[in-house]
Amino acid sequence: MYNALIVKYGEIGIKGKNRYIFENKLIKNIKNMLKPLGKFDVYKEYGRVYVELGDYDYEEVMEEVKKVFGIVGVCPVIKLDRKSDDIEEAYQLLQETALKVLEEKIEQGCKSFKVESRRGDKSFRMTSQEMSIDIGGYLLSKTEGKIPVELRNPETKIKCELREHNVVAYSDTVPGYGGLPIGTNGKAMSLLSGGIDSPVASWMVAKRGVEVECIHFHTYPFTSEKSMEKVRDLARILAKYCGKVRLHKVNLLEIQKAVGVNCKEEAMTIISRRFMMRIAEEVGKLRRCDALVTGESIGQVASQTIQGLTCTNASVSMPVFRPLIAMDKTEIIDVAKTIGTFETSIIPEEDCCSVFAPKRPVTKPKLDRIEADEASLDVEGLIADAIEKMEVEIIEF
Does 118 belong to an annotated binding site?
no
Q: Are residues 200 and 88 in the same domain?
A: no
The DSSP string of 32-99 is HHHTTT---EEEEETTEEEEE-TTS-HHHHHHHHTTSTTEEEEEEEEEEE-SSS-HHHHHHHHHHHHH
For position 360, what pLDDT does the model report? 77
Q: Which of 177, 210, 227 is the last residue of a domain?
A: 177
Angle at the Cα of 107 from the Cα atoms of 103 and 113, rounded to 5 degrees? 55
- 21 pLDDT above the threshold of 70: yes
pLDDT beyond 60 at 130: yes
3 state SS for 93-133: HHHHHHHHHHHHHHHCCCCCEEEEEEECCCCCCCCHHHHHH
Q: Are 136 and 194 within one domain?
A: no
Asked if residue 273 and residue 312 are part of one domain, the reply reads yes
Percent helix, strand and coil across the chain, each to the nearest 5: 45, 20, 35
Please indicate if the annotation marks 300 as binding a ligand: no
Express each pLDDT in 340-382 by its tens digit: 999 999 998 766 555 556 677 888 899 999 999 999 999 999 9
Is 304 annotated as belonging to a binding site? Answer: yes
Do 166 and 205 reside in the same domain of the chain? no
98 and 191 housed in the same domain: no
Q: Is 191 annotated as a binding residue?
A: yes
92 is in an annotated binding site: no
Supply the range of the domain harboring residue 290. 187-395
pTM value?
A: 0.90
pLDDT surpassing 90 at residue 125: yes
Among 156, 177, 198, residue at a domain's last position? 177
Task: Let me know how long the chain is.
Answer: 397
Q: Give the model's pLDDT for residue 257.
A: 92
Tens of pLDDT along 196-240? 999 999 999 999 999 999 999 999 888 888 999 999 999 999 999
Region 116-132: what's the mean pLDDT? 95
Q: Which residues contact 77 (CB under 8 A, 6 or more apart)?
A: 2, 3, 4, 5, 6, 168, 169, 170
Mean pLDDT in the chain? 93
Domain end (from 153, 177, 201): 177
Alpha-carbon distance 303 to 180, whole Å?
32
